[in-house]
Amino acid sequence: MVYAKPLSRIPWEDQFNTPSLTDLRSHYTRQLGQLVETARARVQAFAGVAEDLQWMGLPWRWTLVYQVQGCEGHALAYLIPHREKPILALPLSDEQIATLPMSRLRKFIREGLEHGRRVGDTRWVAYEVTNKTHLELVIDLVKRKHKALTNAR
């Protein structure tokens, strides 16, 4: 009798074993691994932001969730260590989008806002973090959302 070789999974996909943060970036190239660490550090640098590793189901699997303490509702941001490229996702309400200076935002950010998936009155925008420039643009959007959340308290 011949047995099939068990499929190897990257830690991000294994629902039944909580990975370490090192495990989550182990499948990335050095450059992408550094971008993930930079993204984590930049988002956690905002006042009152806490990081939590959660199983989010398919397709996000193990995801780093960033919450602003004292703010209820959706999280500030989600860092998804996707198999190919890390993704930084933000749920933005229509009110938050309306306050953005659309004409001053870069095309990369505007397109993400336009093509984000709408669920109720929330637009879920997700950006692949493939280089420092894109990361800085998305972090600026996270900063704007953080400011809106903390001013609303």
pLDDT at residue 77 in the model: 98
Residue 143 lies in a domain: yes
**CB distance 33 to 85 below 8 Å:** no
Residue 3 lies in a domain: no
Residue 6 lies in a domain: no
CA distance 62 to 83: 11
Residue 113 lies in a domain: yes
The better pLDDT of the pair 40, 16 is held by 40
pLDDT at residue 11 in the model: 85
Residue 95 lies in a domain: yes
Mean of per-residue pLDDT scores for the chain: 91
Range list of H helices, the chain: 21-24, 30-44, 94-98, 107-115, 132-152
Residue 2 lies in a domain: no
pLDDT at 126 over 80: yes
Global pTM?
0.91
Where in the sequence is the domain holding 87, given as residue range(s)?
A: 11-152
Which residues fall within 8 angstroms of residue 104, CB to CB, at 6 or more apart?
Answer: none
Instruction: Read off the DSSP letter of residue 13.
Output: G
The total number of structural domains that make up the chain = 1
pLDDT at 1 over 80: no
Q: What is the CATH number of the domain that holds 146?
A: 3.90.1150
Q: Please give the structure tokens belonging to residue 39.
A: 């993204």
Residue 115 lies in a domain: yes
**CB distance 46 to 146 below 8 Å:** yes
Q: For the segment 80-111, what is each residue's pLDDT rounded down to a tens digit?
A: 999 889 999 999 999 999 999 999 999 999 99
pLDDT at residue 72 in the model: 76
- Residue closest to 93 by CA, chosen among 120, 122, 116: 122
pLDDT at residue 7 in the model: 55
pLDDT at residue 4 in the model: 55
Q: How many CB atoms lie within 10 A of CB 49?
A: 20
pLDDT at 5 over 80: no
